[in-house]
Amino acid sequence: MQFQWYPGHMTKAKRQMQEDIKLIDLVIELVDARIPLASRNPDIDELGKNKARLILMNKSDLSDAGRNREWSDFFREKGYYVVCLDARSKAGMKDVTNVVMEACKEKIERDRKRGIKNRPVRAMVVGIPNVGKSTFINSYAGKACVKTGNKPGVTKGKQWIRLNKNVELLDTPGILWPKFEDQRVGLYLALIGAIKDEILNIDELSLELIKILLSDYPTVLKERYGVEEDAEPPVILGQIAENRKCISKGGELDYSKAAALLIDEFRSGKLGQITLERPKIQDGSAE
Ligand code: G4P
């Protein structure tokens, strides 16, 4: 399957982020816990160098708990602070506050030594579209937030949300663009719904999902749809169509309807907690 991406409109977003990043001490980067590497743009490492770094593996309600641990170790090894999160139900939010303080400790200490007192640490949220940036900011800042802006020392037009006496958060997130370096990344982004479905071939996408599930979560398809796991993916799709009564007007099996149903059930977590990507600790990549 071929994916194309035209990042023209992203140039402005990147320039804005370069400006915003100058104002902050801590980058809070959201990734999708089901595809922790494919949902990142590695350019953030260059943009955010010399800043404290926190990775939030969001939507961890949909990802596999065992893999969450593997991925957390993977990122920690590379020097990031990591928290697994479900921004929608707010699970993990307390850990975020603790880790933000931990990540900022050095900065607070440095300021103290220089005689700078009471300067709050500033943070901003970044991530590709749909990873949950707005949901996170709303849950995290919540009703307790106090907005501060346009006061001396604060860049004009910027709104800061005061989280507590030590930390302020920029109220608008930085939008990163997904990086389609290889087709696998495109496939993963398509599977979690980060690419518009209209430009995708849902039938092909569902066959790719079936292949991944057969290899990594071999009992899931049988348990949910009663299919034979040792059959070929197109046969399995046919069995899903049959079992879920996906029938066209002419009385034939409707493969596209079954494909859409499978993808939808995966995305909404009905197939269970599934992570598509697995870290390969040795060479810093994923598979
Ligand atoms: P963005 O700012 O990064 O673009 O993402 P946004 O917060 O708009 O979230 C994108 C979608 O992901 C939203 O769903 C949101 O509810 C959902 N979401 C955010 N965090 C989590 C999480 O931890 N777990 C799960 N399961 N979903 C999460 P939506 O379908 O666009 O809207 P709605 O279903 O909330 O109405």
Contacts 24+ apart (CB under 8 A), 153-158: 155/23, 158/20, 158/23
Nearest alpha carbon, ligand 1 atom 25: 59
Indicate if 59 and 167 belong to the same structural domain. yes
47 phi and psi, to 5 degrees? Answer: -60, -35
**Amino acid type, 162:** R
Rg (CA), the chain: 21
Probe ligand 1: pick from 31, 56, 88, 268, max atoms within 8 Å of CB? 88
- What's the average model confidence in pLDDT over 22-26? 93
Q: How far apart are CA 177 and CA 271, in angstroms?
A: 28
Q: What integer is the mean pLDDT of 208-214?
A: 97
Query: Pocket of ligand 1, candidates 30, 93, 130, 273: which has the most ligand atoms within 8 Å of its Cβ, to mutate?
Result: 130
- φ/ψ of residue 196, rounded to 5: -55, 130
Task: Determine the distance separating the centroid of ligand 1 and the alpha carbon of 105, expressed in angstroms.
Answer: 30
Percent of residues, the chain, with pLDDT higher than 90:
60
Do 259 and 138 belong to one domain?
Answer: no
Ligand 1 pocket by Cβ (under 6 Å): 58-59, 61-62, 86-88, 127, 129-135
Residue 64 token pair: 């596999």
Q: What is the pLDDT of residue 198?
A: 74
Q: How many domains does the chain have?
A: 2
Residues 106 and 214 in one domain: no
**Has residue 188 been placed in a domain?**
no
Q: Are residues 236 and 166 in the same domain?
A: no
Does any domain span residue 136? Answer: yes
DSSP string, 100-148: HHHHHHHHHHHHHHTT--S--EEEEEEESTTSSHHHHHHHHHTTT-EEE
Under the banding of pLDDT at 50, 70 and 90, the label for residue 109 is: confident
Task: Tell me the pLDDT band of 5, cut-offs 50, 70 and 90.
Answer: low
Residue of 44, 77, 42, 285 lying closest to 184 (CA atoms): 285
Which protein residue has the closest C-alpha to ligand 1 atom 34?
Answer: 88
Encode burial over 262-280: b for 16+ CB neighbours within 10 A, e otherwise: bbebbeeeebebbbbbebe
- Of 44-58, 140-154, 187-201, give the range with the top mean pLDDT: 44-58
Domain containing 218 — which CATH number? 1.10.1580.10
Give the distance (Å) from ligand 1 centre to CA of residue 248.
32
For residues 160 and 232, state if they share a domain.
Answer: no
Q: Residue 149's pLDDT is what?
A: 47
User: Are residues 258 and 159 part of one domain?
Assistant: no
Is 183 part of a structural domain of the chain? no
| Within-domain flag for 181 | no
Do 221 and 159 sit in the same domain of this protein?
no
Q: Is 280 annotated as a binding residue?
A: no
The reply to whether 261 falls in a domain is yes
Identify whether 171 is part of a domain: yes
Q: Give the residue-averaged pLDDT of 107-121.
A: 86
Whether 251 and 170 map to the same domain: the answer is no
Sign of CA dihedral 65, 67, 68, 70: positive
Is 191 a domain residue? no
- Residue 156, domain CATH: 3.40.50.300
pLDDT digits (tens, 9 = 90+) for 232-256: 999 999 999 999 999 999 999 999 9
Pick 152 or 129 by higher pLDDT.
129
Residue 47 shares a structural domain with residue 100: yes
**pLDDT band of 164, cuts 50, 70, 90:** confident
Type of residue numbered 245? K
3-state secondary structure of 215: helix
Nearest atom of ligand 1 to the alpha carbon of 129? 4
Contacts of 271 (CB under 8 A, 6+ apart): 213, 217, 220, 224, 265
Q: Is residue 4 predicted with pLDDT exceeding 80?
A: no
The whole domain housing 268 covers 201-286
